[in-house]
Amino acid sequence: MSEVLKVVEMFGRNVFNDGVMRDRLPKNVYRKLKKTIEDGAELDPGIADVVAHAMKDWAIERGATHYTHWFQPLTGVTAEKHDSFISAPSDGKVIMEFSGKELIKGEPDASSFPSGGLRATFEARGYTVWDCTSPAFLREDAVGVTLCIPTSFCSYNGEALDKKTPLLRSMQAVNEQALRILRLFGNTTAKRVSPSVGAEQEYFLVDREKYLQRKDLIYTGRTLFGAMPPKGQELEDHYFGAIRERIGSYMNDVNKELWKLGVPAKTQHNEVAPAQHELAPIYEGGNQAADHNQIVMETLKKVAGRHGMACLLHEKPFAGVNGSGKHNNWSLTADDGTNMMNPGDTPHENVQFLLVLACIMKAVDIHADLLRESAADVGNDHRLGANEAPPAIISVFLGEQLEDVIDQLCSRGEATHSKSGGTLKTGVDILPDLDKDATDRNRTSPFAFTGNKFEFRMVGSSDSIASSNTVLNTIVAEAFKEAADKLEKAEDFDMAVHDYIKETLSAHRRIIFNGNGYSGEWVEEAEKRGLPNIRSMVDAIPALTTEKAVRLFEEFGVFTRAELESRAEVEYENYSKAINIEARTMYDMASKSIIPAVIRYITKLAESVSAVKTACPEADVSVQTELLIETSDLLSETKVALAALADKTERAFGLETGKDQALFFHKEVFPAMAALRAPVDKLEMIVDKDLWPMPSYGDLIFEV
């Protein structure tokens, strides 16, 4: 069979998808289920038994023995608890069972998942609830074949304890308000508007043997020590470079796994840093895209092991080397095919698009702090604002064409033309002339318009995309609502919408920035414009609980105040835990392997000095002596820094968990880690490579 046919057959093979449901479910059940999936109607619990039965038969035919509710608690990774299908034995025999109740509702002992105080430990009940809009799938691995059922995870009182529930709520909110906008322009056919999301995923691959020699990579996902190799990424020869065989065969395997799970993996290439790569699937509905991104991350890791490699999803595995992010491409699409972010060829005439654009600018300007917060995670603190990823300041890039239309509108009151891209001429006769895009790209912008979608580039590579999309959907729902409230009542719609667009664009123009986001001038300029520059996760978290945020999220039923407060609490805790682990890992590595190695080296030097002196008293031993002094000095610097780190970590640990502790970790422990790293990295450059207790940056990133 040809490869091509194999791909077509392979795609979605392990998914209980529409085709399988149509084949296996009675017509009326199938129709009811589709109504929920497509129109958002409430699920009829009466059909659960039939669906569960069909799902079980299908799964068992494919070798499944277990099922699990698959959910995304606030730990940052997915969670699952496997149950086998077997019934209680009767006459020593079992049968395979799976009821509608088991499909719809799970009851994991939730006490050990983070809840930020929403659930006292004595009322540890949590429920997982079937999300039929994200299809169940079969996972094949060492455990066997498992039926995975995507679920929401809530507390006994229905408070969200996960990332999916708020995302689904936000999709409901934006659907309702976006439909109002479409109706304003006479669209009566669209029944539903959903976010379309494509998440480009960056990652690093390192050799597994070497990975296992680095405690920092194992425990924290990033290197906590490490001097730069003589060659870094300055040549930029890795970006889009030819894919080497070992990596190619890995990507091939990853794609096959993903295709089987119905993830439309599409694009793959080498990234800027050596050993860094990217995978992008074709965009899908927001909920599915968020689930699929989790599957992508799991698969990247799992398949790496099979190829003798480790996949690093951390935002900054190597200091001084480009970090990894996730570009969240986002647009709103109606079920009649309308992409609300498509400007068409003449955006100046496309009033609906201009209104949508104005609303998005307003939303992003007003809620820049929330958007920034949605991308905050511990690893991302190393990226945002560090001259390689977008700056920590939120701004919008629109490009020349739209900027010009806005200029016309704001200065002259009306827009009369749109700049076009023109033709690309290469100067080579045999190459065809191409129509150019109306706008060049801007790689430095955190929120860039890219033709028919926005690309939010702040999300960290290891983070779920759910939070960012939840915020995007909700803030835009709010802006749509405010526009619709006003315009639905207008007597002269054309005039009213024109004025509304103009006023909104003028009021929020400060959020547009088309220049170089990495430059120092932008930081100053942004400050003048009053745009927030939130530099770290702990500084970002308070955005969740401002009165503005509570009002927004409560109005659209996305989060209650209690849920927001609990989330902030969980994030502070997650921050403290992560830095604590990093600090302790550093302590461990420095005291148990680095310092002993340096001492061995110093001893060798000292022995050499005295041996040479004994053999030949006139010989010049100044080089060895200087090295001996330099190394000894750095060693004592290390020892001092190590003691300081231990002291700070202990003090942090003594604080009550929550904001104050997180701030202490950020302001005291984190700098103490940097102070320990500095002399150690210098020592790495001096000490005999054979004595250095772990693979170097060079070994890790150039020899995969």
The site for Mg ion (CB under 5 A) is made up of 200
Beta bridge pairs of residue 160: 154
Least distance between ligand ADP and beta carbon 278 (Å): 7
Which member of 108, 150, 166, 198 binds ligand ADP (CB under 6 A)? 198
Q: Give SS3 for 483.
A: helix
What are the angstrom distances between the C-alpha of 272 and each of 193, 215, 419, 432? 36, 26, 32, 30
Residue entry with tokens 């400060």:
510
Q: What is the β-pairing status of strands 105-106 and 126-130?
A: antiparallel
Least distance between Mg ion and beta carbon 162 (Å): 28
Which member of 69, 164, 453, 502 binds ligand ADP (CB under 6 A)? 453
Give the one entry of Mg ion, ligand ADP, none that residue 203 binds, where binding means its C-beta sits below a cut-off of 5 to 8 angstroms depending on kind.
Answer: none
Phi-psi domain of 297 (left: phi exceeds 0; alpha: psi -120 through 50; beta: other): alpha
Q: Give kind and range of the element (H or E) at residue 84.
A: strand 79-84
With beta carbons less than 8 A apart as the criterion, state whether 471 and 360 touch: no
With beta carbons less than 8 A apart as the criterion, state whether 468 and 459 touch: yes
- For position 282 contacting ligand ADP by CB under 6 A, the verdict is yes
Q: Tell me the DSSP string of 144-196.
A: EEEEEEEEEEEETTS-B-BSHHHHHHHHHHHHHHHHHHHHHTT--S---EEEE
Give the one entry of Mg ion, ligand ADP, none that residue 453 binds, where binding means its C-beta sits below a cut-off of 5 to 8 angstroms depending on kind.
Answer: ligand ADP
Which of 282, 640 has the CB closer to Mg ion?
282
Give the one entry of Mg ion, ligand ADP, none that residue 198 binds, where binding means its C-beta sits below a cut-off of 5 to 8 angstroms depending on kind.
Answer: ligand ADP
Give the one entry of Mg ion, ligand ADP, none that residue 331 binds, where binding means its C-beta sits below a cut-off of 5 to 8 angstroms depending on kind.
Answer: ligand ADP
Strand ranges inside 85-158, DSSP E: 105-106, 126-130, 137-141, 144-155
With beta carbons less than 8 A apart as the criterion, state whether 217 and 312 touch: yes
Give the contacts of 592 (CB within 8 A, at least 6 positions apart): none
Least distance between ligand ADP and beta carbon 329 (Å): 3
Region from 194-202, 354-362, 544-552, 690-698 binding ligand ADP, contact rule CB under 6 A: 194-202
- For position 283 contacting ligand ADP by CB under 6 A, the verdict is yes
CB atoms under 10 Å from CB of 621, counted, come to 17
Q: What is the DSSP letter of 620?
A: -
Q: What is the β-pairing status of strands 447-449 and 396-397?
A: parallel
Least distance between Mg ion and beta carbon 269 (Å): 7
Region from 27-35, 239-247, 278-286, 300-308 binding ligand ADP, contact rule CB under 6 A: 278-286
What are the angstrom distances between the C-alpha of 321 and each of 162, 269, 559? 33, 18, 38
Least distance between ligand ADP and beta carbon 332 (Å): 8
CB atoms under 10 Å from CB of 177, counted, come to 24
Structure tokens given for 119: 């659930």
With beta carbons less than 8 A apart as the criterion, state whether 226 and 696 touch: yes
The Cα 549–Cα 568 span in angstroms is 12
Least distance between Mg ion and beta carbon 272 (Å): 11
- For position 200 contacting ligand ADP by CB under 6 A, the verdict is yes
Give the one entry of Mg ion, ligand ADP, none that residue 684 binds, where binding means its C-beta sits below a cut-off of 5 to 8 angstroms depending on kind.
Answer: none
- The pattern of x and - marking residues 211 through 250 that bind ligand ADP according to CB under 6 A reads ----------------------------------------
What are the angstrom distances between the C-alpha of 50 and each of 25, 34, 40, 56, 93? 7, 14, 20, 10, 24
44: phi then psi, degrees, rounded to nearest 5:
-85, 110
Least distance between ligand ADP and beta carbon 198 (Å): 2
Which member of 17, 36, 172, 339 binds ligand ADP (CB under 6 A)? 339
For residue 184, give the amino acid letter: L
- For position 635 contacting ligand ADP by CB under 6 A, the verdict is no
Which of 172, 339 has the CB closer to ligand ADP?
339
- For position 444 contacting ligand ADP by CB under 6 A, the verdict is no
Which of 200, 582 has the CB closer to Mg ion?
200
Question: Which residue's CB atom is positioned nearest to ligand ADP?
Answer: 198
Structure tokens given for 360: 């998005």
Which of 339, 516 has the CB closer to ligand ADP?
339
Please work out the total of residues on this chain that contact ligand ADP, with binding judged by CB under 6 A: 15
- For position 154 contacting ligand ADP by CB under 6 A, the verdict is no
Q: Tell me the DSSP string of 256-308.
A: HHHHHTT--EEEEEE-SSTTEEEEEEPPEEHHHHHHHHHHHHHHHHHHHHHTT
What are the angstrom distances between the C-alpha of 680 and each of 2, 587, 588, 590, 686? 54, 12, 13, 8, 10
- For position 452 contacting ligand ADP by CB under 6 A, the verdict is yes
Which member of 329, 395, 401, 576 binds ligand ADP (CB under 6 A)? 329
Region from 49-57, 193-201, 464-472, 670-678 binding ligand ADP, contact rule CB under 6 A: 193-201
Give the contacts of 431 (CB within 8 A, at least 6 positions apart): none
Give the one entry of ligand ADP, Mg ion, none that residue 262 binds, where binding means its C-beta sits below a cut-off of 5 to 8 angstroms depending on kind.
Answer: none
Which member of 28, 249, 267, 426 binds ligand ADP (CB under 6 A)? 267
Region from 58-66, 76-84, 90-98, 276-284 binding ligand ADP, contact rule CB under 6 A: 276-284
Which of 202, 377 has the CB closer to Mg ion?
202
54: phi then psi, degrees, rounded to nearest 5:
-65, -40
Q: How many CA atoms lie within 13 A of 410 on its CB side?
A: 15
- For position 196 contacting ligand ADP by CB under 6 A, the verdict is yes
Least distance between ligand ADP and beta carbon 350 (Å): 16
Which of 444, 696 has the CB closer to ligand ADP?
444
Which of 333, 585 has the CB closer to ligand ADP?
333
The Cα 301–Cα 313 span in angstroms is 8
Least distance between Mg ion and beta carbon 611 (Å): 58
Which member of 167, 280, 357, 594 binds ligand ADP (CB under 6 A)? 280
Which of 280, 594 has the CB closer to ligand ADP?
280
Least distance between ligand ADP and beta carbon 200 (Å): 5
Least distance between ligand ADP and beta carbon 452 (Å): 5
Give residues in contact with ligand ADP (CB under 6 A).
196-198, 200, 267, 280-283, 329-331, 339, 452-453
